[in-house]
Amino acid sequence: MNAVRPDVRLEAAPMQPVACTTCEAEVLARKSSWDQSTLQWDATALERCIERRTTPARSERPNRNAFAGCAALRASIREAAVRGELDVQSDDPLRTNPEAIHD
Closest listed residue to residue 95, CA positions, set 54, 66, 67, 81? 81
**Domain map of the chain by residue range?**
15-59+69-90
- Condensed to tens digits (0 to 9), the pLDDT of residues 18-40 reads 999 999 999 999 999 989 999 99
How much is the pTM? 0.71
Measured from the Cβ of residue 41, the count of other Cβ atoms closer than 10 Å reads 18
Q: What pLDDT does residue 102 have?
A: 47
Residue-by-residue pLDDT tens, the chain, 103 positions: 677 766 555 666 789 999 999 999 999 999 999 899 999 999 999 999 999 888 765 555 565 566 678 999 999 999 999 999 999 998 777 766 555 544 4
SS3 content of the chain, % helix, strand, coil (to 5): 30, 15, 55
